[in-house]
Amino acid sequence: MSQPQGPSPAFDNPRDARAQARADKAYRKAQRPWYKKKRFILPLALLAIVAIFAITANGDDDKPTVASPGDPAPTAQPAFPGATEDDVAAKAGETVDADGVRITTTQLVRGDSTLVDTLCTTVTYNNQSGQPSNFSGGLDWKLQGPDGAIFSNTFTGSKNILQSGQLAPGGIMTADVCFDAPKGTPSGQYVVLLDPTFRFESDRIAWLNTL
């Protein structure tokens, strides 16, 4: 249905004039394109902000890199059973830089066997990220045996077990992470896995040991 063109007719009654003005305003508002209406503009703007934030966050998230002690060049990535493309593998004794936190684990050795047979590694955190960094000795560390079975760590095997807490920028901390040794401790490849529980990234860090 066609709409009247030109100025609205004059009214002797001011009330009628105001009513016509409101009607004209409502008509003009209804005829605006959909992309100029607030109920569309605000959600689209919010979606754009979320998309920009996600792209920026992903761009700042660097994959951990491996470097031999004293050599910043990445070493070859050795494979292990169950490894995924998101995992970063290093040899025992090598340092992995994870967003500025440099982490090193030593070769596995037999720990205190007073209660059960254990295998232990000494872990060093060197926080060069410029901000506080969290660590968890009770949840983050696992051991994969030669048969592929994966075990959580234990609080026996050493008097210097890694606890949970936060490391200040520039701080260095060294402690032990121990695991129950598989029955008979068969020879083969053992993988010390750092798999942080409360983290958005999917990267695991693996240190390969041969016993």
Q: What is the pLDDT of residues 69-127, one digit of tens each?
A: 555 444 455 578 899 888 999 999 999 999 999 999 999 999 988 888 999 999 999 99
Query: How far apart, in whole angstroms, are the C-alpha atoms of residue 123 and residue 158?
Result: 13
Q: Higher-confidence residue: 53 or 62?
A: 62
Tens of pLDDT along 128-176? 999 999 988 888 999 999 999 998 899 999 999 999 999 999 999 999 9
Q: Side chain identity at 141, as an amino acid letter?
A: W
Q: Out of 2-11, 95-104, 174-183, pick the least confident.
A: 2-11
Query: What stretch of H or E contains 189?
Result: strand 189-194
The model's pTM: 0.66
Nearest to 183 by CA among 123, 88, 84, 117: 117
Asked whether the beta carbons of 168 and 127 are under 8 A apart, the reply is yes
Whether residue 208 has pLDDT greater than 60: yes
Does domain 65-210 fall under CATH 2.60.40.1240? My reply is yes
Nearest to 91 by CA among 191, 203, 196, 202: 191
Q: Higher-confidence residue: 55 or 182?
A: 182
For the chain, domain boundaries? 14-60, 65-210
Nearest to 109 by CA among 178, 163, 183: 178
Query: How far apart, in whole angstroms, are the C-alpha atoms of residue 77 and residue 87?
Result: 10
Q: What is the pLDDT of residue 49?
A: 63
Q: What is the pLDDT of residue 62?
A: 66
Three-state SS at 168:
coil
Query: How far apart, in whole angstroms, are the C-alpha atoms of residue 68 and residue 93?
Result: 8
Query: How far apart, in whole angstroms, are the C-alpha atoms of residue 19 and residue 26?
Result: 11
Query: Could you tell me the two tokens for 90?
Result: 């290093």
pLDDT-based confidence at residue 45 (cuts at 50, 70, 90): low
Query: How far apart, in whole angstroms, are the C-alpha atoms of residue 95 and residue 77?
Result: 13
Q: What is the dihedral of CA 182, 206, 138, 167, to 10 degrees?
A: 150
Q: What is the pLDDT of residue 54?
A: 46
Whether residue 58 has pLDDT greater than 60: no
Q: What is the pLDDT of residue 32?
A: 60
Asked whether the beta carbons of 142 and 191 are under 8 A apart, the reply is no
